[in-house]
Structure 1
Amino acid sequence: MTKPIDMALFLSGVLTGSNATQQRHLRQARIMQAAIQQRWQRDNPWTWQLKHVRWFLTQHLQDHSDTTRYYYRLTVVLIWKRMGKSALRTTK
């Protein structure tokens, strides 16, 4: 089993804002990483597909508040930006 990718290193080039904002993005990215790893056995964001992220936002966060889902969408935008992909568009 390989060691999961370090999200702090992965996102270091795209993280901006205050230290609290950066820490929130890192915490949320690690939570996403763990959930996608548990469900899809993919711990490396480079292997994630749109269906993995969409599942996380729609199914895994379905019982969370709109505000929480909004902040996770912001983190997803950073991950997508880091991967060089266009912005993720999801519907409710």
Structure 2
Amino acid sequence: MSKPFDMALFLSGVLTGSKVTQQRHLRQARIMQATIQQRWQRDNPWSWQLKHVRWFLTQHLNDHCDATRYYYRLTALLIWERLGNDRQLLMDISMRLG
């Protein structure tokens, strides 16, 4: 039996800001993780592709308010940065989302 993925440990190197901001990013990252796991069977960010994050930001958050989508985009950028991926690629997608 494998241990569940520790999102707090994963993001610990890139989390900055106040304790409240860090907790928000962790909460949102865990929600993203659970949602992508349920839809795509990808249990941790190391197995995510751009299409998974794009789906989450465009389809899953479709009915949420602009502020919620904005804060999830910030969390997605942190995850993307932690993975060592090209930040500009995700930012370009985020800009097209509004």
Please confirm whether the aligned pair reaches a TM-score higher than 0.5, indicating the same fold.
yes
Question: Which structure has more helix as a fraction of its residues?
Answer: 2
Aligned to 1:11: 11
Q: Aligned residues, how many? A: 92
Q: Is the 8 A contact 1:15 1:22 kept in 2?
A: yes
For the pair 1:38 / 2:38, whether they are aligned, the reply is yes
- 1:17-65 C-alpha deviation (Å, 9 max, x unpaired): 0000000000000000000000000011000000000000000000000
4+ runs deviating over 2 angstroms = 1-4
> Which amino acid in the other structure matches residue 3 of structure 1?
K
1-structure distance, mates of 2:17, 2:37: 28
Deviation, 1:2, is 3.3
Structure 2: where are the runs of 5+ without partners?
Answer: none
Aligned to 1:73: 73
RMSD of the alignment, in Å?
1.0
Structure 1: where are the runs of 5+ without partners?
Answer: none
Q: What's the TM-score once normalised by structure 1's chain length?
A: 0.95
Aligned to 1:27: 27
Deviation, 1:5, is 1.1
